[in-house]
Amino acid sequence: MSLPVRDRFDALRRSWWPPARLLIDELVPRTDSVVGEIVRYHLDTGGKRLRAVLPLLVAEVLGRDPETVLPFGAACEMLHNATLVHDDLQDGDPARRGAPTVWRRFGEGQAINAGDAMLYYAIALIRRLDQPAAIRDELVGRMVADTLAVIEGQALELALHDRADVDADDYFRMVEGKTSGLFSLPLAGAARLCGVDPDVVDGLAEAARHLGVLFQVQDDLLDVLADKGRGSVGNDVREGKRSFLAVHALAVADDRQRARLQAILDLHRDDTSDADVAEAIARMTELGAVEAARDELTRRRASALAVPALAAHPALLELVEGLADLLVEPIAHLLGHHQSPDEAFCIELLPAVSRTFALSIELLPASLREPVRVGYLLCRILDTIEDEPVLDPDVRDGLFDTFDAALCGVPEAIRALETQAIAVDLGEGAEARLAAGAGAVFRRFFALPEASSSGMRPAILEMSRGMRIYARRTHEAGRLSLVDVPDLEQYCYYVAGTVGELLTGLFLRACPVPADTRDRIRALAVPFGLALQIVNIVKDCAEDQERGVSFMPADVCARHGVTVEQLVEPAHRDAALAVVADVVDVARHHLQRAVAYTACWPADARVGSDIRLFCLVPLVLALETLTVVLQGQDTLVPGRTPKVSREVVHRVMTRCTEASRDDAALARLLDGYGFDVPAPDDRAAATKARLAPVRIATGG
């Protein structure tokens, strides 16, 4: 699941599954009921509770109280579990989620009884909705129709076992009955409860049809790639199921291959050996079934997002996109072999050098993730070169020269950079490993579209130039110290303002905006980067002092009667805190511009709202960090770096997700921190931004 939908899903499940289960327990007899005992046993085996939560997600996205659809969510979950009880019996599965299935524990007849009862419990739960009788009756009718579709799909699946001519159309007709109805009902039904227009309700049902197929294809993949909680790998093969992989393999196989695969699938379950299962999986893989399934996942995801009725509803589109990601989550790590070694290296190293940035990238649209990831890693290579304290200045300059040549496409420079990084011994951490494997990052850089790589290059070269200047200054002075606020701003421009420019170029290519908005965004890109960097400088002040570095301007310290070296001394605590307060004021000056930058990205465009969320989360966390800095006394105490609690981070994520899609919510959020959000058409703010630029020197 994309990150926001996964977070929402987890939060809703934690908050609302217990009361949903309570509704079920109030309905299912607790004593003197054989059926009640069996139903409770099955529900107690666990599960993702996806169908229970889907209606709550729809309600939340549409701005409604999830509690209003809670009985409907419980009904959908009950219906889903009824089909599982029957499905386990028909397939002969002995285990589900590591526990004996109902038929295995209580017998086949009792499994039929329990599954039948659960169908009627589902209808009874709908009757508990606080809605007019006509609405409840409509939902019962929808449930009956979708249940009949599920039964028809299940019957078709059994019928296909005995056919040798099953094709993709048969498979999709079966899945769209058996699986899609259990997605259509919770999504479309919840939208109906929330009063959405009928065409949008139908649009959600259409998107759910594609999501159902996507889910089933990933489930077919999971069966041959891993144990999905049913006791062993390859249960679909043992059952002779015409899964997506089997159907594809039978369609493309030659006569000999087809006959052998067909023979394995037609074996009785008890006669199918582990070797037979392994052979069938190997044959399906050799015939391209895994690749075909992966392509079908991509196609169904795109089809779900292309439903015309949802085009004007970005919040629902975002939900559909997030659900598509959530549904394939169980197999995402199993498809890693499709990545090139270079891409896998970049994906692995990113969280190692910055877990926060790795999580933030997941907030972006898929098309932006790799260029942002690669750009960030290139910047971290530069940061590693600058930060290494024991490098001879000439050696460091040589590394900068080699990096610049590699970025400009000199092949031998890429190899030379890796060789030099290993030779100078940058340590054993993730940053050193990144520098030693820099070739992988550069190869991914040159694999990007030309517009992306050429657009990123000037900002990265500027960062390299500036880091070289400050590294040389550090060597000559014995430690890095900044003279005044303009010096602080210039340093932050090189290490972070350039990142703002790099990201802005990528974002503007992905999200076109009117010319005047584009000009304003470009004018505010550097302050956005500066704001976040200065907050980090304030937060890490004591830790930096401990390692012999200070980014606090010397003239600000002098104004309060202290030296940079005295900032962490307890005897000078009051004066040092006054220095911190002055630098916080500088940060807030740039944070106001960062607010304006974030607000420029359109909330009513899906890519724009994703970019806004990507910007908003670190921005609001920076504001929360400043709150901790100003309220406490630990900012200048080594080992007590101000931190934002996990609870605050969770609250920030939730509120930022809402504000990313709604200008009014954005204004309310930032007003709580004392910042005004300029109106989207505020030309005066754009003019002011251009007339009062950040003080960046252009010379070396």
The per-residue pLDDT for range 401-419, each reduced to its tens digit, is: 999 999 999 888 988 988 8
Domains and CATH numbers, the chain: 3-337 (1.10.600.10), 339-421+428-440 (no CATH), 479-700 (1.10.600.10)
Cα separation, 221 vs 622, whole angstroms = 42
At 683, the pLDDT band (50, 70, 90 cuts) reads very low
404-438 in b/e burial notation, b at 16+ Cβ within 10 A? bbbbeeeeebbebbbebbeebebeeebbbbbbbbb
Report the pLDDT value the prediction gives residue 477, as an integer from 0 to 100: 81
Report the pLDDT value the prediction gives residue 229, as an integer from 0 to 100: 52
Strand partners, 95: 100
Q: Under 8 Å CB-to-CB from 22, ≥6 apart: which residues? A: none
Report the pLDDT value the prediction gives residue 693, as an integer from 0 to 100: 39
Strand partners, 96: 99
Helix, strand or coil for residue 47? coil
Tell me the mean pLDDT in the region 565-569.
Answer: 87
Report the pLDDT value the prediction gives residue 688, as an integer from 0 to 100: 40
The mean pLDDT value of the chain amounts to: 86
For a pLDDT cut of 70, what percent of the chain falls above it? 92
Please measure the distance between the N-terminal and C-terminal CA atoms of the chain and give it in whole angstroms: 47
**Residue 267: φ, ψ to 5°:** -65, 150
Cα separation, 75 vs 24, whole angstroms = 8
Cα separation, 414 vs 375, whole angstroms = 16
Tell me the mean pLDDT in the region 458-467.
Answer: 95
Cα separation, 329 vs 2, whole angstroms = 9
Contact 209, 176 (CB under 8 A): yes
Helix, strand or coil for residue 100? strand
Q: What are the structure tokens assigned to 443, written together?
A: 């190869």
Q: What are the structure tokens assigned to 391, written together?
A: 């490098």
Tell me the mean pLDDT in the region 246-273.
Answer: 87
pLDDT value at 585 more than 80: yes
Contact 377, 357 (CB under 8 A): no
pLDDT value at 697 more than 60: no
Q: Which of 79, 151, 165 is nearest to 117 (CA)?
A: 79
- DSSP output for 470-516: HHHHHHHHSS----SHHHHHHHHIIIIIHHHHHHHHHHHHHS---HH
pLDDT value at 460 more than 80: yes
Interval 499-522: pLDDT, tens:
999 999 999 988 888 999 999 999
Report the pLDDT value the prediction gives residue 692, as an integer from 0 to 100: 38
Cα separation, 239 vs 675, whole angstroms = 62
Q: Under 8 Å CB-to-CB from 535, ≥6 apart: which residues? A: 587, 591, 622, 625, 626
pLDDT value at 51 more than 80: yes
Cα separation, 405 vs 411, whole angstroms = 9
**Residue 448: φ, ψ to 5°:** -70, 160
Handedness of CA 488, 490, 493, 494 (dihedral sign): negative
Report the pLDDT value the prediction gives residue 165, as an integer from 0 to 100: 75
Query: By CB neighbour count within 10 A (0-12 exposed, 13-18 middle, 19+ buried), where does 21 fall?
Result: middle
DSSP code at position 33:
-
Q: What is the 3-state secondary structure (H, E, C) of 356-415?
A: HHHHHHCCCCHHHHHHHHHHHHHHHHHHHHHHCCCCCHHHHHHHHHHHHHHHCCCHHHHH
Name the helix (H) or strand (E) containing 99: strand 99-100
Cα separation, 432 vs 649, whole angstroms = 30
Residue 163 — left, alpha, or beta (φ > 0 → left; ψ -120 to 50 → alpha)?
A: beta
Q: Which has more confidence, 347 or 104?
A: 104
Query: By CB neighbour count within 10 A (0-12 exposed, 13-18 middle, 19+ buried), where does 616 fall?
Result: buried
Tell me the mean pLDDT in the region 277-299.
Answer: 85
At 22, the pLDDT band (50, 70, 90 cuts) reads very high
Cα separation, 528 vs 601, whole angstroms = 13
Interval 617-676: pLDDT, tens:
899 999 998 988 887 667 777 777 777 776 777 678 778 888 888 899 999 999 999 998
Lowest-confidence pick of 209-213, 229-233, 389-393: 229-233
Report the pLDDT value the prediction gives residue 644, as an integer from 0 to 100: 79
Best-predicted range by mean pLDDT (154-163, 262-271, 311-320, 462-471):
462-471
Contact 178, 150 (CB under 8 A): yes
pLDDT value at 231 more than 90: no
Q: What are the structure tokens assigned to 690, written together?
A: 């251009």
Report the pLDDT value the prediction gives residue 1, as an integer from 0 to 100: 37
Report the pLDDT value the prediction gives residue 2, as an integer from 0 to 100: 41
Cα separation, 658 vs 11, whole angstroms = 15
DSSP code at position 68:
G
**Residue 2: φ, ψ to 5°:** -55, 160
DSSP code at position 615:
H
Report the pLDDT value the prediction gives residue 568, as an integer from 0 to 100: 85
pLDDT value at 24 more than 80: yes
Q: Which has more confidence, 203 or 679?
A: 203
Report the pLDDT value the prediction gives residue 253, as an integer from 0 to 100: 84
Interval 180-201: pLDDT, tens:
888 999 999 999 999 999 989 9
Report the pLDDT value the prediction gives residue 529, as an integer from 0 to 100: 94
Measure Cα distances from 690 to 455, 527, 566 in Å.
Answer: 22, 11, 37
Measure Cα distances from 591 to 44, 504, 521, 586 in Å.
Answer: 50, 17, 14, 9
Q: Which has more confidence, 484 or 314?
A: 484
pLDDT value at 124 more than 90: yes
Contact 198, 226 (CB under 8 A): no
Q: Which has more confidence, 81 or 655?
A: 81
Cα separation, 91 vs 104, whole angstroms = 12
Interval 298-350: pLDDT, tens:
778 878 887 878 878 888 988 998 898 888 888 876 654 456 788 888 888 88
Cα separation, 391 vs 34, whole angstroms = 76
Helix, strand or coil for residue 95? strand
pLDDT value at 388 more than 80: no
Contact 224, 286 (CB under 8 A): no
Report the pLDDT value the prediction gives residue 699, as an integer from 0 to 100: 36
Q: What is the 3-state secondary structure (H, E, C) of 230-284?
A: CCCCCHHHHCCCCCHHHHHHHHHCCHHHHHHHHHHHHCCHHHCCHHHHHHHHHHH
Residue 146 — left, alpha, or beta (φ > 0 → left; ψ -120 to 50 → alpha)?
A: alpha
